[in-house]
Structure 1
Amino acid sequence: MMLSGVVSAFEKVLIPVAGRISSNRYLLAMRDSFSTILPFMIVGSFFGIIEWVVIDPTGTVMGPNGMGLGMKMTGLTGEAYLASAFVATLKSLQALCNLVVTIGFGVLSLFLVAAFSYRLGGIWGGDKFSTALTGIGAFLIVTPQQVNKVGGFSLDYFGNKGVLAALLVATVSSWVFVKLTKNKKIRIHMPDTVPPAVAQSFAVLVPVLFTLGGFALFAALLTWFDIPPLNDLIYKVIQAPLMGFSQGMGFSLLYQFIIWLFWWFGIHGHNVTAAIQNTVYMPAQLANQDGTASYIFSNGFFEAGLMHIMGLVIAVFLFSKKESWRAVAKLGAPAMLFNIQEPLAFGLPIVLNPILLVPYILAPLANTFVGWLAVSSGLVPIFRFVVPWTMPLFFCGTIGTGSIMGGLLQVVWLAMDVFIYAPFVIAANRIDDEINEE
Structure 2
Amino acid sequence: MSSVISKFEQVMMPLAGKISSNKYLLAMRDAFSMLLPFIIVGSFFGIIEWVVLDPWGTIMGENGMNLGQAITGLSGDAYKASRFVAAMQIMQGLCNNVVTVGFGIFSFLLVAAFSYRLGGIWGGDKFATALTAMGAFIIMTPQQVVGKAGDTIGAFSLDYFGNKGVLTSIIVATAASWLFVKLSQNEKIRIKMPDTVPPAVSKSFAVLVPVFITLFSFTILATLFAHAEFFGKTALNDIIYAIIQAPLMGFSQGIGFSILYQAIVWFFWWFGIHGHNVTAAIQNMVYMPAQLANQAGDASYIFSNGFFEAGLMHIMGLLIAIFLFSKRDSWRAVAKLGFPAMLFNIQEPIAFGLPIVLNPILLVPYILAPLANTVIGWLAIATGLVPVFKYVVPWTMPMFFGGMIGTGSVMGGLLQIVWLVVDIVIYAPFVMAANKMKDEDTEE
Return the TM-score normalized by structure 2: 0.94
Partner of 1:320: 326
Shift in CA distance, 355/66, structure 1 to aligned 2, threshold 3 Å: closer
Q: In the alignment, which residue of structure 2 is the partner of 1:333?
A: 339
What is the CA-CA distance between 1:104 and the residue it aligns to?
1.4
Question: Which letter does structure 1 place at the counterpart of 2:7?
Answer: A
Deviations 1:50-69 (A, max 9, x none): 22232223333333444333
Deviations along 1:330-372, one digit per CA (max 9) or x if unpaired, are 2222222222222322333222222211111111100111111
List runs of 5+ in structure 2 lacking aligned partners: 148-152
Aligned residue type for 2:356: I
The count of aligned residue pairs is 436
| Residue 361 (structure 1) aligned with residue 367 (structure 2) | yes
Asked whether the equivalents of residues 398 and 406 of structure 1 are also in contact (C-alpha less than 8 Å), the reply is yes
Residue 398 of structure 2 corresponds to 392
**In structure 2, C-alpha distance between the alignment counterparts of 1:374 and 1:247, rounded to whole Å:** 15
Q: Are 1:199 and 2:197 an aligned pair?
A: no
Cα shift at 1:170: 0.5
| Change in 2 beyond 3 A, CA 1:115/1:188 | same
1:284 aligns with 2:284: no
Residue 177 (str. 1) matches residue 194 (str. 2): no
Equivalence map 1:399-438=2 (5 Å): 399-438=405-444
Checking the alignment, whether the CA contact within 8 Å between 1:46 and 1:390 is kept in structure 2 is no
Shift of residue 186, structure 1, vs aligned partner: 0.4
Structure 2 distance, partners of 1:315, 1:56, is 33
Q: Secondary structure at the match of 1:146?
A: strand
Distance in structure 2 (CA, Å) of the matches to 1:329 and 1:86: 37
Q: Any conservation in 2 of the 1:107–1:159 contact (CA below 8 Å)? A: yes
CA-based RMSD of the aligned residues comes to 1.7
Instruction: For 1:267-306, list aligned pairs within 5 A.
Output: 267-306=273-312
Residues 437 and 309 (structure 1), Cα distance of their counterparts in 2 relative to 1, 3 Å cut: same
Find the counterpart in structure 2 of residue 154 from structure 1: 157
Secondary structure, aligned partner of 2:48: helix
**Per-residue deviation at 1:437?**
4.5
Native 8 Å contact 2:55 2:88 kept in 1: yes
2:142 equivalent in structure 1:
144
The answer for unaligned runs of 5 or more in structure 1 is none
Letter of the structure 2 residue corresponding to residue 174 of structure 1 = S
Consecutive aligned runs of 4 or more in structure 1 exceeding 6 Å deviation: none
More divergent stretch after superposition (373-382 vs 207-216): 373-382
Distance 1:217 1:147 in 2: 21
Map Cα deviations across residues 16-55 of structure 1 (whole Å, 9 max, x no partner).
Answer: 1111111112111111111111222222222222222322
Kindly tell me: are residues 71 and 4 of structure 1, through their superposed partners in 2, closer, same or farther at Cα, counting changes over 3 Å? closer
Mapping 1:95-110, distance limit 5 Å: 95-110=93-108
Secondary structure of residue in 2 paired with 1:386: coil
**How far apart, CA to CA, are the structure 2 residues paired with 1:422 and 1:282?**
33
Q: Secondary structure at the match of 2:145?
A: coil
Match of 1:24 among 22, 25, 48: 22
Question: CA offsets per residue over residues 47-95 of structure 1, 9 Å max, x none?
Answer: 2222223222333333344433323333333223222332222222222
